[in-house]
Amino acid sequence: MKLCGFEVGLDRPFFLIAGPCVVESEQLQLDTAGKLKEITGRLGINFIFKSSFDKANRTSGKSFRGLGMEEGLRILSEVKKQVGVPVLTDVHEYTPFDEVAAVVDVLQTPAFLCRQTDFIQKVAAVGKPVNIKKGQFLSPWDMKNVVEKARAVGNDHLLVCERGASFGYNNLVSDMRSLAVMRDTGCP
């Protein structure tokens, strides 16, 4: 699959999606994206910058969620322009997907929303590549159903992302065996 100007797939070289969890400031985003671009360039690794303008799934209602959509997208747009890297961000059920898609290269679904059929299909219908994060409550085998929901609206530019599994309260563990299981979706 072609993604942001390079090929990705199960038989393709490693690529990196990385960046601050949430957009905190323009300078932090530019500095981080620049450093990651430098490192991945030196190592010959394709790179997509990731940061979220709103982290709606915070544990505490008092936690910092981001700078908001307007300012967050403005900063992510600056990262694309100034650093010259593709950009990925989260979308939520209240997000105007077309506005976000006009700025970023890849849309990402939060793990907590991966079972929401209408949400997954609306995001996929935008036509941009979508990175679908596996919910902590979901078995890796169930990601095949999530991917089928997205493909049902005609989007084959899909990635799946291991998010870990809940082992007790507040204990997230990544089971690397899940990666092999999720390969069966046919998605990178």
- Return the CATH number at 129: 3.20.20.70
The bridge status of strand 172-173 relative to strand 106-109 is unpaired
Q: Which of 183, 180, 116 is nearest to 150 (CA)?
A: 116
Return the SS3 of 172: strand
Model pLDDT, residue 52: 96
Model pLDDT, residue 168: 82
DSSP state of 52: B
Q: Which residues contact 180 (CB under 8 A, 6 or more apart)?
A: none
Model pLDDT, residue 122: 98
pTM of the model: 0.94
Q: Structural domain of residue 164, as residue ranges? A: 2-185
Domain count, the chain: 1
Q: Which residues contact 76 (CB under 8 A, 6 or more apart)?
A: 23, 29, 51, 53, 87, 89, 103, 104
Return the SS3 of 1: coil
Model pLDDT, residue 94: 87
Measure the CA–CA gap between 30 and 147, rounded to whole angstroms: 33
Q: Which of 86, 93, 83 is nearest to 8 (CA)?
A: 86
Measure the CA–CA gap between 178 and 163, rounded to whole angstroms: 10
**pLDDT, mean of each 10-residue run, the chain (188 residues):** 92 95 98 99 98 87 90 98 98 93 98 96 98 96 98 98 88 91 94
Model pLDDT, residue 60: 83
Model pLDDT, residue 127: 96
Model pLDDT, residue 171: 87
